Structure 1
Amino acid sequence: MKKRTRYVVKAGIVAAAFVSAAAQAALQPASLFTDHMVLQRDRPVPVWGTADPGATVTVGFAGQIKQGKADSGGTWNVALEPLSASTKPRTMEISCSNHPTIAYSNVVVGEVWICSGQSNMQFPVASVPEIKALETTAENIRCFEVKRTVALTGQDSCEGGWVVRHPNSAVAFSFAYFLEQAAEVPVGIVLTCWGSSSIEAWMPRDMTETVPHFKTMMAEFDADTATRDKIQAILDGPKPWSKQDDVFLRRQSNILYNAMMHPLAPYACRGLVWYQGERNTQSMFGMIDEPWFSRNSGMLNYADTLQQWMKRLRSEWGQDEFHFLVVMLPGYYKQLPTGPQEGPESPVAHSWAWMRESQLKALDLPGVGVANTIDLGDVKNVHPKDKLPVGQRLALLAQRDTLGMDVEAQGPVFRGLERKGTTLVLSFDHAEELKTTDGERPKGFWLTDDSGKWVPATAAINGQTVVLESAGLKKPLHVRYAFAGKPEVNLVNGAGLPAYPFRTDRFEP
């Protein structure tokens, strides 16, 4: 049998071991186990892979020795006990009888997050000077970037490797930077994202059981042999793909999950940062026929879809504590033709306001945070460059909700209203030192009475409340705040964090 050389790294010494190609393939840890990896602290750490059926696999790290037996299919899984954070480079050794030990060097322990989504998560560091400037002071940040590809069935492995540098994602890097600064432990980012992808692209096939429109989509996909044949032909064809083929692949459903999310579970991590939604804003109600890649949830059905997806990933990881941080879509003027055409500040247009409302409904689940970006964005550019505050706000949420730090992580959140004659008095949580960024009256508030006609409100701050009135309304009933494609807003708390959009009515769009 043909021999080849395999290099095993142990305690910084490189040794040559001559083993057969067949033996090499018999013991294979999962893709995320490589040199330079970051392991999640304070939680059990699953280590898994394949070996000869029935073989006993031994994993050693940080003084722990754990063993597990490969099942009849050759799959094994062991769990290290919770580890303390450490910047000390150590070696993980994985072995089984009759096979050479596999040793992974320079392993540290800290906070691990998956960062996923579409193009605004993929948006590069070099395009944001304020974030690129952080490179000179960045420490203890590592990244595993998943190769962008697709698969027609769920895969057990992916291409990528841990590197001792920050991710080339402006949002993921700035999030990791400020989290590391606060926690003072290594931060590992698993970056798996692809522009133009819908949430359905990242959904496993079995979610057809919980999401009705996804069941329809997958039934149509299964019946479309031409599309499936084209996907396979692209995968089997020359590389790199043409831009046309690249876009075609990433706009499909399910197949990104198969190749770029499924192989990651159950790697121990704190949770997932999700910056996605733009692809699902092409309609209000979803499942439109043209163009083909707009056949998805739409904005109104996104809320339930997102929650079901979060529940499904928690099941995939076997972690009820698996945390989600959602990036709210920032300001942008994209108004659908199905609604009134009244401009970027209109509270009734079929705009991204409805998607933000769907994203905020994820807060109905425990262990979810939403980073408010309503004061950010670009009225004409779907890829805004003001991403530094996004990373800062995500890190604040992670500090408060996953690390137990005493920080203010949210701007004012609407709590309730009281009607007093011709005025409405709004109360808020997270409203200490309520103020405006420019010293002017609060902007972005609209009022209506029982007519359903919305008019701009005159707003004034009174302690931790905002008082609203309008000369044109004698009996105001409902409020919409920052409920527009690109609203003009200035209301913040003492931490400088913006007030969250909301509406008190339940009028249908």
Structure 2
Amino acid sequence: MMNKYIAILITFLSIQRLGIAASFAQDLTVSTLFCDHMVLQRGTPVPVWGKARPSEGVTVTFAGQRKSTTADKNGKWELALDPLSASKEGGEMTITGSTEVVISDVVVGEVWICSGQSNMQFGVSQVPEVRGLVPFAKDIRSFEVKRTVALEEQDNVSGKWERTHPSSAVAFSFAYFLNDLGDVPVGIIHASWGSSSIEAWMPRDMTKDLPHFKTIMDEFDRDTARTARIQQILAAPDGWTGKEDVFLRRQPNILYNAMMHPLAPFACRGLLWYQGERNTRYMSGMPEVNSSNWFHRVAGIKEYGGILGQWIKRYRKEWDKEDMHFMIVMLPGYGKGTDGEVDPEKPTEPSWAWMRESQMEALALPGTSVINTIDLGELSDVHPTDKLPIGQRGALLAANHTLQLDVLAAGPIMNDVEIQKGRIVVHFDNAEGLKTVDGRAPAGFWITDDTGNWVRAESKIDGESVILSSPKITNPHYVRYAFAGKPKVNLVNANELPAYPFRTDREEE
């Protein structure tokens, strides 16, 4: 009888050991970004990472390469493949350790992250011109990051690579024209959420460099009712309501934790950023707000440019990639400002013109570009449908800056202003074939003298320059071009790309 019990015990322990061994055998994992149909970035080291048993050896095999590493004491592992050549033909990646993970149909091309708020989220189905491209799209794949939040930085995102276009109209049109120009597969990682501020996409450690963000996060940490509500919403078995969705996406930091942090250091060419509307509530500063509009506790317009620059540098650090390109979508024309309705053409109104100026500050950093949208937008609609030109212009900039294609990719941009007797001469770069789209004199120019009394300028094109004057201003000193909520503009270069807005009186502030 005793032998029978001993036999049963031995059998039970054996089963347990097998179960334990089986559970350990399943420990090897790879980041959720690595799955069937993915696109890897060409021409740069490609990090691959995941988890395994502590000290477990891990080997990654792909495209003739075989790289190995050992998991650390916490089970984390990471290695990098050598730079890859573009490939439209899907290959197989194998990751081996105590078990094996096989990822199929992997291509190599250009990978971009597309992020921001509602105008990036704006769908393909809502824009007929972009929807019309769908039947002609090829070699475009996408990873849609699930919209959610987390109070702590996460290791993985929810989503999968699919052999289809991204849901975003801007992201898809960008991918479509980039594929056409570069003739390589394009992979889009789409991570956007409507009405989110730039603060929503900031890692917590940026509180060390940005006092306003430290204030925001200190308030967030003290508000235990808010964090409890966030946890309650996330735990709800049936998802959340529309009202709760708005509540979540207007929080600071926690979108970054769940939707952006897990993407690093996935190899990519750059990040296309369409955001800023949420930060146009104030011209400057971060005024006190009440319980009904707490979500406007964000930086103002004039501070946005400096914050954007810090944000770009911090993301490059996260990806450990100094040449990671950042492409900023300029806010388009709009007839409202910080105080509601504004004169859409007047250059002194508290309009989105000032936010565009802040966005242009990104150009002070290397490896950046700004998509000019000054001729786009709707007077009374914050969600305009003219998204296709944004994708076209972004693809041209990407082709020029990151693919080194010799194309005229940007519109005329002010290089120098020459003050002459009774007139101002504005000299432009990117001004080959400078002209107006309607054959009329260039519109959108205003000039003033020391009085600050701005008047519309009489203008004419002279080669790659524009000459400005007015019988109302004897000695003009300053010029503002397209510096208004929704200015009427017509100045373009040979590629029909619009001139960038600017003002020359900034140094006098």
Q: Does the Cα contact within 8 Å between 1:330 and 1:374 map onto a contact in 2?
A: yes
Tell me the residue number matched to 2:473: 473
Tell me the residue number matched to 1:191: 190
User: Which deviates further from its counterpart, 359-368 or 499-508?
Assistant: 499-508
Q: 1:38 and 2:39 equivalent? A: yes
Shift of 1:146: 0.4
TM-score, length basis structure 2: 0.94
Q: 1:501 and 2:504 equivalent? A: no
Q: Does the Cα contact within 8 Å between 1:123 and 1:170 map onto a contact in 2?
A: yes
- Which has the larger Rg? 2
Task: Tell me the distance in 2 between the aligned counterparts of 1:374 and 1:85.
Answer: 35
Tell me the residue number matched to 1:415: 415
Q: Does the Cα contact within 8 Å between 1:118 and 1:195 map onto a contact in 2?
A: yes
Q: Does the Cα contact within 8 Å between 1:112 and 1:190 map onto a contact in 2?
A: yes
Tell me the residue number matched to 2:4: none
User: Which deviates further from its counterpart, 254-263 or 454-463?
Assistant: 454-463
Tell me the residue number matched to 1:170: 169
1:100-143 superposed Cα distances (whole Å, 9 cap, x missing partner): x1100000000000000000000000111111111111000000
Tell me the residue number matched to 1:8: none
Q: 1:115 and 2:117 equivalent? A: no
Q: Does the Cα contact within 8 Å between 2:342 and 2:485 map onto a contact in 1?
A: no
Tell me the residue number matched to 1:405: 405
Q: 1:51 and 2:52 equivalent? A: yes
Tell me the residue number matched to 2:316: 314
Q: 1:299 and 2:283 equivalent? A: no
User: Which deviates further from its counterpart, 418-427 or 150-159?
Assistant: 418-427
Tell me the residue number matched to 1:224: 223
1:85-484 alignment runs, 5 A limit: 85-97=86-98, 99=99, 101-290=100-289, 291-337=293-339, 343-484=343-484
Name the CA shift for 1:205/1:36 in 2 (closer, same or farther; >3 Å).
same
SS in structure 1 at match of 2:337: coil
SS in structure 2 at match of 1:241: coil
**Aligned amino acid, residue 276 of structure 2:** G
SS in structure 1 at match of 2:134: helix
Shift of 1:285: 1.1
Q: Does the Cα contact within 8 Å between 2:55 and 2:70 map onto a contact in 1?
A: yes
Task: Tell me the distance in 1 between the aligned counterparts of 2:169 and 2:287.
Answer: 33
Tell me the residue number matched to 2:9: none
Shift of 1:289: 2.5
Name the CA shift for 1:125/1:21 in 2 (closer, same or farther; >3 Å).
farther
Shift of 1:288: 2.3
Q: Does the Cα contact within 8 Å between 1:286 and 1:294 map onto a contact in 2?
A: no
**Aligned amino acid, residue 307 of structure 2:** T
1:482-497 alignment runs, 5 A limit: 482-497=482-497
Q: Which runs of 5+ in 2 are unaligned?
A: 1-11, 13-18
RMSD: 1.5
Shift of 1:336: 2.2
Q: Which runs of 5+ in 1 are unaligned?
A: 2-17
Task: Tell me the distance in 1 between the aligned counterparts of 2:26 and 2:303.
Answer: 45
Name the CA shift for 1:342/1:68 in 2 (closer, same or farther; >3 Å).
closer
Q: Does the Cα contact within 8 Å between 1:113 and 1:269 map onto a contact in 2?
A: yes
The percentage of aligned residue pairs carrying the same residue is 59
SS in structure 1 at match of 2:301: coil
Count of residues in correspondence between the two structures: 489
Task: Tell me the distance in 1 between the aligned counterparts of 2:241 and 2:342.
Answer: 39
Q: Does the Cα contact within 8 Å between 1:332 and 1:486 map onto a contact in 2?
A: yes
SS in structure 2 at match of 1:484: coil
**Aligned amino acid, residue 114 of structure 2:** C
**Aligned amino acid, residue 461 of structure 1:** I
Moved over 3 A (4+): 18-21
Tell me the residue number matched to 2:64: 63
1:15-61 superposed Cα distances (whole Å, 9 cap, x missing partner): xxx99762464111011000000000011110000000000001000
**Aligned amino acid, residue 47 of structure 1:** V
Q: Does the Cα contact within 8 Å between 2:459 and 2:468 map onto a contact in 1?
A: yes
Task: Tell me the distance in 1 between the aligned counterparts of 2:411 and 2:22.
Answer: 58
Task: Tell me the distance in 1 between the aligned counterparts of 2:470 and 2:251.
Answer: 48
Task: Tell me the distance in 2 between the aligned counterparts of 1:436 and 1:327.
Answer: 23
Name the CA shift for 1:264/1:21 in 2 (closer, same or farther; >3 Å).
farther
SS in structure 2 at match of 1:471: coil
1:399-440 superposed Cα distances (whole Å, 9 cap, x missing partner): 000000000011100011112211111100011111001011
Task: Tell me the distance in 1 between the aligned counterparts of 2:225 and 2:424.
Answer: 58
SS in structure 1 at match of 2:336: coil
Task: Tell me the distance in 1 between the aligned counterparts of 2:263 and 2:20.
Answer: 29
Q: 1:75 and 2:76 equivalent? A: yes
Tell me the residue number matched to 1:7: none
SS in structure 2 at match of 1:207: helix
Q: Does the Cα contact within 8 Å between 2:280 and 2:337 map onto a contact in 1?
A: no
* More helix by percentage: 2
Q: Does the Cα contact within 8 Å between 2:458 and 2:470 map onto a contact in 1?
A: yes
SS in structure 1 at match of 2:431: coil
**Aligned amino acid, residue 391 of structure 1:** G
User: Which deviates further from its counterpart, 222-231 or 365-374?
Assistant: 222-231
Q: Does the Cα contact within 8 Å between 1:416 and 1:426 map onto a contact in 2?
A: yes
Tell me the residue number matched to 2:28: 27
SS in structure 2 at match of 1:301: helix
Shift of 1:506: 2.0
Task: Tell me the distance in 1 between the aligned counterparts of 2:508 and 2:282.
Answer: 15
Shift of 1:388: 0.6
Name the CA shift for 1:462/1:508 in 2 (closer, same or farther; >3 Å).
closer
**Aligned amino acid, residue 482 of structure 1:** A
Task: Tell me the distance in 2 between the aligned counterparts of 1:391 and 1:418.
Answer: 34
**Aligned amino acid, residue 154 of structure 2:** Q
Name the CA shift for 1:120/1:25 in 2 (closer, same or farther; >3 Å).
farther
1:194-222 superposed Cα distances (whole Å, 9 cap, x missing partner): 00100000000000011111011111111
